[in-house]
Amino acid sequence: MASSRKPPSASLAVALSGGVDSVVLLHLLKSEGFRPAAIHVHHGLSPNADAWADFCRKLCRRWGVPLSVHRVKVRQKGKGLEAAAREARYRVFSKLSCSVICLAHHLDDQAETVLMNLLRGAGARGASGMAPESGFHGKTLLRPLLDVSRKSILDYARSHRLDWIEDESNADESLTRNYVRRRLGPLIESRFPAWKTSLARAARHFSRKEDDAQRLLRNFLREKGLKAPSEKKLIEMLKQLTSGGPRTLIEHDGSRIRTYRDQVFLESAGGAAFPPVLWNGEARLLLPGGELRFRRARGRGFDAKLKPLLVRRRSGGERLQPDARRPRRTLKNLFQEAGVPPWERDRLPLLFSGAQLVWVPGLGIDARFQAAGKRAAWLPEWRPNPLFLRNSPTGHAKIAG
């Protein structure tokens, strides 16, 4: 049996539980010419935990492999036992000096992980399962056996007459993974014999889409002039952006990233409040958050004689009739129809003639004030600052997941 991915030899360690999977991984790496160290995490959850640590010591002594044993306290704090034990292991991994840590997860583990994630309602990231290679606290985590079935691992262990330990907790069906492995797995296999391979293959497809989405998000942030986040933060940002939540808000590098109707918007963290301003024919007005420009036109825009106008924000209850063939409607309805995100609506500069609404960015000019024929007119344009309403109301960005 060959591993699906060869790890580099520099500062290489194997997470050794003493079970058949990690024993085979350690033996396989040694057989392929690597000189790995071994790490055993003593969780203290089983009455046999000391015996398992002793087994690992004897095995590594016999094979000439340096071993370090790390005792941990598993703190559940509202988590399940499996999740708490995993967190304790990864705390140990984060403090190790090695540059590469090999984990013995295999194809069956991957299929079970994807199935459990989907049953919990996970999105694309959860459906991606475990990554063959990932960064972790300045180290690389590798799973060289991720394409290898448990049956192949057992066959290898028996053919090489390897010894390993059996964790009695593997029979405890109160643990989710054991329930999936012992109950759901055989039931699914009776109808879909290749379900593990199929789910593992699906995970690879989702993972590629996840990678594509990460690249797209990095490019999006770079194009907006924002600093690149760490890999951990990037993954968390992407998780939030693709969660489907209607009120997603991520703060990064002094700006806010929001989602609305499956689109991603960028805005500055600063407010855009401004007092009412009179416009009396100027070509441009500078406002907090952007610039209001006016250019002369004929037959397009509002009548040139219509001045002065008041520039102010929305206060509530305003109505607009951009199309004379349709009834006057509330800005709320028009904004929803145009896809303008809720947080932007109260920040846009509106033009009023007295108490009457003349123009709204992204919605247009009220039919009562539209210049007819070839009459001289003013055509207004709202140009937001680079980090304020960057994508709206006239543009947006979409991150595919």
The Cα 296–Cα 281 span in angstroms is 10
Q: Which domains does the chain have, with CATH numbers?
A: 12-200 (3.40.50.620), 244-401 (no CATH)
Give, in order, the Cα–Cα distances in Å from 371 to each of 218, 276, 367.
45, 25, 9
Among 15-19, 95-99, 382-386, 389-393, the least confident range:
389-393
Q: In this predicted structure, what is the pLDDT of residue 399?
A: 39
> What are the pLDDT digits (tens) for 353-379?
999 999 999 999 999 999 988 889 999
Q: Quick check: 34 pLDDT over 90?
A: yes
Over residues 384-401, mean pLDDT: 44
Provide the token pair at 345.
């609506």
Instruction: Provide the 3-class DSSP secondary structure of residue 176.
Output: helix
The Cα 93–Cα 85 span in angstroms is 13
Instruction: Give start and end residues of each alpha helix (H) in 96-141.
Output: 107-119, 124-127
Instruction: Provide the 3-class DSSP secondary structure of residue 377.
Output: strand
Highest mean pLDDT among 19-33, 82-96, 194-208: 19-33
Phi, psi of 88, deg, nearest 5: -65, -40
> What are the pLDDT digits (tens) for 292-307?
999 999 888 998 889 8
Q: Quick check: 5 pLDDT over 60?
A: no
Q: In this predicted structure, what is the pLDDT of residue 7?
A: 46
The Cα 362–Cα 178 span in angstroms is 55
Tell me whether strands 12-15 and 37-42 are parallel, antiparallel or unpaired.
parallel
**pLDDT confidence band for 244 (50 / 70 / 90):** low
Q: In this predicted structure, what is the pLDDT of residue 268?
A: 56
Q: In this predicted structure, what is the pLDDT of residue 155?
A: 97
Q: In this predicted structure, what is the pLDDT of residue 169?
A: 85
**pLDDT confidence band for 261 (50 / 70 / 90):** confident
Q: In this predicted structure, what is the pLDDT of residue 274?
A: 82
Could you count the other beta carbons within 10 Å of the beta carbon of residue 235?
17
- How many alpha carbons fall within 13 Å on the CB side of residue 29? 32
**pLDDT confidence band for 246 (50 / 70 / 90):** low
Q: In this predicted structure, what is the pLDDT of residue 208?
A: 78
